[in-house]
Amino acid sequence: MGNIQSYLHKAQEKCDLLLRKNQHIGEVLHKQNELEKSNYEIRLRSTISSCKFLLKNALPFLGHDETEKSNNKRFFIEVLYLIKEDNEKIFKVTLENALKNEKLTFPTIQKDIVNCFSKEIIKFICDEIGKDVFAILVDESRDVSKKEQMDIVLRYVDGLEIIKERFIGVVRVLHTLSLTLKTVIDTIFSNNNFSMAQVRGQGHNGASNMSGVFNGLKSLILNENSFAHYMQGLKRRFEA
C-alpha cells in the first residue's frame, strides 16, 4: 500500500470510513430526522399546553400586535414565553429558536387544537349520557356577520343523580327553517350515537319556526317522539 501518503493508503482509509455504521449517510440522516421529530413534539406539546390553559380559563388567544417588537403579544404567545423560561429543552426549539415554518403558533393551528379539545369534551358528555334519556334546548340567532347559527344544549341527570346542562356547540346553518334545524339536530345525534327516542324534553324560544304548533321544530320532534314534551321552563332557563 506504500506510505501513509500513497493513493492506495488513502483509498483504504476512505473505504474504512465508509463502512463504519455510525458515519454512514443513512445513519446520519436517521439521527437528524429523530432529532427533528423530537423537537417538533416539544413544540407541539408546548402549543397544546398553552391552548389548554387559555381554554380552561376562558381567555382570548390572539392579540392586536404579535410581532417580535410588541411588548404584549396577548395570551397565547405570552403563555408560550412563560412555559419556555424555566425549561431549557423547550427554550431551544420554540418561538424565535424554531424554524420559521415550524413554530406551530399560526391561528389555524390553534383552531385545529381547539377543535380537538372540543371533540374530546363532547365525546365525554355523550359517553356520560350513554343510552339514558335527556332534554334538548335549542336557540337560533345571527352572529355579527349576519350568518345564521343554532346553539344546542343537552340537559340530563348523571350517574350521581346530579342535573347537568352541557353546551354541545354552535352550528352554522344556511337558514332557520324548522326542517333545516331538525335535519341539523338529526345529524348531530347520528354523529354522537344518540337517538331521538332518548329525548324526554325540549325547550325553544317563542319564534314560530321553533315553537310553532304545526310546522315548528317542536312539532317536528313531537311527530317523531311523542315523549319529547315541550316545556316552557326549559326555554326560560336556557335563555337566562
Q: Is residue 75 assigned to a domain?
A: yes
User: Is residue 223 in some structural domain?
Assistant: yes
Same-domain status, 155 and 60: no
Number of residues in the chain = 240
Based on the fold, state whether residues 225 and 163 are members of the same structural domain.
yes
The answer to the question of residue 226 being in a domain is: yes
Is residue 123 in some structural domain? no
3-class SS at 59? Answer: coil
Whether residues 224 and 157 share a domain: the answer is: yes
- Report the CATH number that the domain containing residue 232 is assigned in CATH: 3.30.420
| 153 and 202 assigned to the same domain | yes
Q: Domain for residue 64, yes or no?
A: yes
Sheet holding 163-172, edge to edge: 163-172, 148-157, 134-142, 199-203, 229-230
Is residue 93 domain-shared with residue 14, that is, in the same domain? yes
Structural domains counted in the chain? 2
CA distances from 221 to 48, 180, 228, 231 (A): 39, 12, 7, 13
Last residue within a domain, chosen from 105, 121, 152: 105
29 and 101 assigned to the same domain: yes
72: in domain: yes
Residue 53's pLDDT is what? 92
Residue 121 lies in a domain: no
Q: 157 and 90, same structural domain? A: no
Residue-level pLDDT at 96: 80
pLDDT 10s digit of each residue in the chain, 240 long? Answer: 556 667 777 777 777 766 666 655 555 555 567 778 888 888 889 999 999 999 989 888 887 766 667 777 778 888 888 888 888 888 888 888 777 777 888 888 899 999 999 889 899 998 999 889 999 888 877 777 778 888 889 999 988 889 999 988 888 888 778 888 888 888 888 888 888 899 888 887 767 777 666 777 888 888 888 888 887 655 545 455
Which residue type, as a one-letter code, is found at position 79?
Answer: V
Question: What are the CA-CA distances from residue 134 to residues 13, 49, 97, 153, 159 (Å)?
Answer: 77, 33, 50, 10, 13
One domain, residues 97 and 154: no
Q: Is 201 helix (H, G, I), strand (E, B) or coil?
A: strand
Residue that terminates a domain, selected from 105, 120, 153: 105
Residues 154 and 89 in one domain: no
User: Is there a contact between 78 and 85 (Cβ–Cβ < 8 Å)?
Assistant: no
**Range(s) of the domain holding residue 135:** 129-239
Question: Is 122 inside a domain boundary?
Answer: no
Residues 137 and 229 in one domain: yes
Domain end point (choices 63, 90, 105): 105
Q: Dihedral sign for Cα 30, 32, 34, 36, please.
A: negative
Same domain, 93 and 154: no
